Amino acid sequence: MGLTKLSTKYDDYAKTCKKGHLFKILAMDINKENYEEIGLPIIQKAGVAHKIDFREGPALPVLDLLVEDKNNHGTYDFIFVDADKDNYINYHKRIIELVKVGGVIGYDNTLWNGSVVAPPDATLGKYVRYYSDFVLELNKALAADPRIEICMLPVGDGITLCRRSS
Ligand SMILES: C[S@@+](CC[C@H](N)C(=O)[O-])C[C@H]1O[C@@H](n2cnc3c(N)ncnc32)[C@H](O)[C@@H]1O
């Protein structure tokens, strides 16, 4: 999961990334090796490792701490969620407080192998079936959430972008 704070306007974003001194990212993963072995080499190659504050451990307690401090409310420009699908709805309850109005939350895997639109008698693998109801629950909650405008991108395994509107 990554939470991004930009301290400048969006049209300066590319310039900002290149200069690399005006934004920071809070990243979380329960498994440090995944970050160090997969993500970090690419991040280092891009020369932005110093911009990332990585926290190892389950994301929920970290989010709880962030939400507890009202100074964090409405301060994040972009939050991307791609972790344990059975907690997506719990993540949403917290990160909606953290993203700023006009900011964006991205949820990965919202098509979940197409299972979210599969008929009840469809043959699904055990892993896909297990998480399918959780992803469906999130999709319904996002569609009904009056604080956001959503757009589902049918690329890869589906990405839902949510713009906080209020
Ligand atoms: C699909 S991978 C993320 C891939 C990454 N977004 C990318 O595009 O390269 C999911 C990650 O979520 C992490 N994860 C699983 N449960 C978690 C939890 N409760 N809190 C934080 N991270 C978790 C896993 O360790 C794994 O590295």
- Please state the domain extents for the chain: 2-164
Neighbouring C-beta atoms of residue 10, cutoff 10 Å: 10
Residue 45 CA to ligand 1 center (angstroms) comes to 21
Instruction: Check pocket membership of 82 for ligand 1, CB cut-off 6 A.
Output: yes
Asked if residue 109 has its Cβ within 6 Å of ligand 1, the reply is no
8 lines ligand 1 (CB under 6 A): no
Q: Calculate mean pLDDT across residues 26-31.
A: 94
pLDDT value of position 23: 81
Q: How far are the Cα atoms of 1, 65, 110 from residue 139, in angstroms, in the given order?
A: 18, 26, 7
- The reported pTM is 0.90
Report pLDDT digits (tens) over 60-111.
999 999 999 999 999 999 999 999 999 999 999 999 999 999 999 999 999 9
Does the domain at 2-164 match CATH 3.40.50.10710? Answer given as: no
Distance in Å, CA 1 to ligand 1 centroid: 7
